[in-house]
Each structure stands twice: as structure tokens, then as C-alpha cells.
Amino acid sequence: MPDATFLDSTELVLNMGPQHPSTHGVLRVILKLDGEKVLGTDCVIGYLHRGVEKIAENRTFAQFNPYVDRMDYVAAVSNGLGYCLAVEKLLNVEAPPRAQAVRVILTELNRIASHLVWLGTHALDIGAITPVFYCFREREEALKIFEKYCGARLTTHAFRIGGLLYETYDGFEQDVRDFCAMFGPKVDEYEELLTNNRIWVSRLKGVGILSAEECKEYGVTGPVLRAAGVKWDLRKAQPYSGYEKYDFEIPTAQNGDTYDRYIVRMQEMRQAVRIIEQAVAAIPEGPIMGKVGKVIKPAVGEAYVSIEAPKGELGYYVVSDGSTQPYRCRVRPPSFVNLQALDRMVRGGLVADVVAIIGTIDIVLGEVDR
Amino acid sequence: MGKLLRKIFLVDLFQGLLVTFRYQQPKYIYTERYPEQRPKVAERYRGAPRLNINPDNGETLCISCNLCALACPEALIVVTSERNETTKRKELTTFTYDTSRCMFCGLCEDACPVDALELTQDFEMATYTREGQIWDRQMLEEGPKPTQYKC
């Protein structure tokens, strides 16, 4: 923490947050400034700490499932998938092919919804007010599919350990196909609004550069890593839930600045549409629930499963002591790890760039603080 | 040269403005006018809880097996029952559901073996007091009665 007593007369310590609207929640950033220039930052987190990992120790495996939705509440379905896969690995069961296909469709829809929230709020922070309305309009269509499928829009609780509880509703395939057909042209519209816009380009190009080596040192994953030119996506590197069956590309960029991260996320939305189209064309018939008993009681052991969440690598480490409750459940949240690179990215920049960089990391404070 | 002309004539800005003006048409209005126009929620929507009664004789379907209370992660359901000496069956006396702590995960609904407890499509559950959020058996059977606004 920058100490006030050792400040030069030109230096200033400024608190940004925890109520600042551009910190995407309750993040407090202590900035050490020289005029407009940022000399250093310090993040203060924990304002949204709810002790989710401790709650897990006092709940059964099935009972903890709704809580994981409340960590990264913008991408609740991805969280549910990660937790279910971890417990399934512990139980040594696999979800049936039909369940896997539906899981892929819903997680990719959620990836689009999460990126749309990111795009809208990131553009809003920088001063482009229009995209947020368009983004939330399209996100609404994805949330309607979640609502029809599982009964909730945001904290979905869509998956159960071993597969799915709900069979797809009548017209599910058609709704998903309609969404894909509708969404492709909408991404073009967002790009028309932003990609070549001179204000947008000059606010983002060359801001918050994080090179590939630095990304690896900090353990940064997700679009931030791919924007630095590293072709790393867990859906390709360690396929789970049947991702090896789908044909898609990993979008990358070279410079690792804020503009490249924007380009990578826009391309990811297009790739997500591609995956959904392939998955919905071939949903296999069959059961939706694997061989899991009514009471989930895994043998003594531990399992770690990491998935590619919209924000990066999301890992669940679950330890069982043979009872119905997890002995320990550790979460590796992508936002928390990516946030650690904030200081490196903003150092030497301007105060206005801090807002742009916090937006580009795409943090959700529910996940950072847990 | 083309790049310079594009810059002088603000092509990038007009491109964006064109998108905005295309959506000025009234047919693109997306806003729901909520209190007057009530949204139609999905069939599987998980909203206010309801304790179903048998429509033929008005008796509760609940067999007071306590499975919902055990399934609830927040332990917010309290079921009490007493044994009827003549029929030797458990009869429901009270059923309390604390909606202020409920996260509408639907685990109680899944656990119910007789489909007595159900999460319904009602979503207007606001009250003026914390006590009003704790629903007793009568409230659960009748459901919430939100004010209907007409324009």
C-alpha cells in the first residue's frame, strides 16, 4: 500500500472504489498518482466475501451446486459445469452423450451472454453508451432460453451431478437455432459501432499491454492470454464434455493490448455461435442422467477439473473424505488471478486508462472475493 | 489516400450512427412496460413456493415426510406433524417456509415425492416487513396476492 508519509509533494494517493461504477462491483483500487500518471496501484478485495468454500464443507455435494452459480453470476452455467465435472470425476461417472451436448449448448450460450455483459459495460466505461442497450437486448434472448430450459435466468442451477435434471423443452432446438441466426449479424453491428470508431481505437490501442511472457508469469488465462498471442484454450488442450467433437478455432491476436482483447472476445462470440450450431444439429438421443445414486457419497479421494470459462481457466478442486459432504472445495477463479496483473498493466498509464483496463480484464467481484 | 479521405469525412463515425438510427423505428422497441404489461414467465419458472391441495376435498397433498426440509441447502423449511391415533397416519400441522433466505434453487421441489411443494410462476413477492417473508401453511396454500395495476 502506498504510504502517505513518504510521498513526494507532487504525488497523490487516490481511492477508486469500492463504490465507483467503473470498478464493476466492489473493487477498491488505491492509486498512487503523479498528476494524471499512475505510479502504482493496490487492489483491496474482499468486500463481497461470502465464504463460499467454507459453505461447501457444511453442505452435501448436491446442496452445494446452487452456490457455485453465485460466484461468477454472469456465467453461472459455466460454474455449474465445472463443479459437476469435478464431482463426476470423483464419482467416476460420466454424463451421457445427450446431456453432454445440451451442456455444451448452454455453456456456449452463457459464454455469449457473459461476453455481451463485458462488451456493454466496457464500452459504457469508455464512453460509448449505445452498445450496452444492444448487448443487453441480445443477452435477453439467451436468458430467455435459460429460463425456458431450467426456470431461472441468471443463477440457473441448470446441471446436476451426473447429467441433467430437466429434459429439453419442446422447441428448444428451434429457439437455439433462431438465436444463432439472429446473433451473427448482431456481432457485425457491434463491430460497425466500435471496431473502426476513432475514439474507441485511440482509447484502446497500446493501452495496458501485457506480453505473453508476463501473462504466463502471472498465470493469466482466457482472452487476456490469447490476446497476447498464446494459443491456449482448455476446450482444445484438455477437451471436456465432448468439446473434441466440435470444429472451432481459437482466436488470437499479437499485441496484447486492450484493443486486441476486444478483438479476441468478439471473435470468440462468433466461434461460440459456430459450436452451438454444430451441437444443436446433432443432439444424440438417450438418457440425460448418468448412473448416480440418490445420495451422492464419493469414495475417499480428490479431483481437480478445470474448464474454459468465459473469463479464463476455472478450476474446481474437490476433496472427499467418504462422507456426503465435501471435505474441502477449492475454486480457482479466473477473475481473481487475472486481476493480479492489473498493477503491471496500469503502471505508467493515465487515470482514464485504469477504467479501460479494469473493464478489459472482465472481472466479476463475486468470483474474485468468493 | 483512401484512408485519409475516410478520416476527413468521418466515415467510421457515420457508420456507427447509421446503426443507431436504424433502430429508431418504433417496431424495434424492446422495453417491457412492467406494471401494466406483466411479463409471461416460462412454464418451468422457479418462483414463489406453493403447497398444493387436493382440489376434490381441499386436503393438503403433503405427507409430512420432511424430505424438502432435508434437501434445502439453507434449511429454511420447517415441517411439523402429529400422528393421528385413529388412522395411524402422520398429519401435517404447520409448514413454514422462509422466502427471505430462499435462493429458488428448486431442490425442495425435486425432493418432494408427491408433488405437494412446487415453485410456481408467481414472482411478485415483495413485502414491507421481514416477518412477511416467512410464509406459513395458509400463505403457501393461497399464494401471494400482488396488486394489479391497470392503465
So what's the architecture of A52-335 in CATH? Answer: Orthogonal Bundle (1.10)
Contact B20 A165 (CB under 8 A): no
Determine the length of chain A: 370
CA distance A229 to chain B (A): 27
Residues 84-143 of A with CB under 8 A from B: 130, 134, 137, 140
Structure confidence at residue B137 as a pLDDT band (50, 70, 90): confident
Q: Residue A147 in contact with residue A153, Cβ under 8 Å?
A: yes
CA distance A131 to B20: 9
Across the interface, of B18, B19, B44, the residue whose CB is closest to A148 is: B44
- For chain B, domain boundaries: 49-142
Instruction: Classify the complex by whether its ipTM is higher than 0.95, answering yes or no.
Output: no
Q: Could you tell me the pTM of the whole model?
A: 0.88
Predicted pLDDT of residue A167: 83
3-state secondary structure at position B36:
coil
Predicted pLDDT of residue A6: 54
Give pLDDT tens digits for A32-71.
888 888 888 888 888 889 889 899 998 898 899 999 988 8
The DSSP line for A299-331 is PSEEEEEEEEETTEEEEEEEEE-SSSSEEEEEE
Non-local CB neighbours of A82 within 8 Å, separated by 6+ positions: A68, A305, A306, A307, A309, A314, A315, A316
Distances in Å between the Cα of B1 and the Cα atoms of A197, A259, B4, B6, B32 are 19, 25, 5, 9, 48
- For chain A, domain boundaries: 52-335
Predicted pLDDT of residue B20: 85
Q: Is A67 on the interface with B (CB under 8 A)?
A: yes
Q: Is A289 on the interface with B (CB under 8 A)?
A: no
Q: Pull the grid cell for residue A361.
A: 480484464
Rg of chain A over CA atoms, in angstroms? 21
Q: Pull the grid cell for residue A271.
A: 466461434
Burial state string for A25-61 with b = 16 or more CB within 10 A and e = fewer than 16: bbbbbbbbbeeeebbbbebebeebeeebbebbeebbb
For residue A328, the tally of other CB atoms under 10 A from its CB is 14
Q: Pull the grid cell for residue A30.
A: 488505491
Structure confidence at residue A317 as a pLDDT band (50, 70, 90): very high
CA distance A142 to A183: 10
Mean pLDDT of chain A: 87
CA distance B78 to chain A (A): 17
Residue in A with minimal Cα distance to B69 = A63
CA distance B92 to chain A (A): 25
CA distance B31 to chain A (A): 9
CATH code for B49-142? Answer: 3.30.70.3270
The DSSP line for B76-120 is -EEEEEEEETTTTEEEEEEEEEETTS-----HHHHH-TTS-EEE-
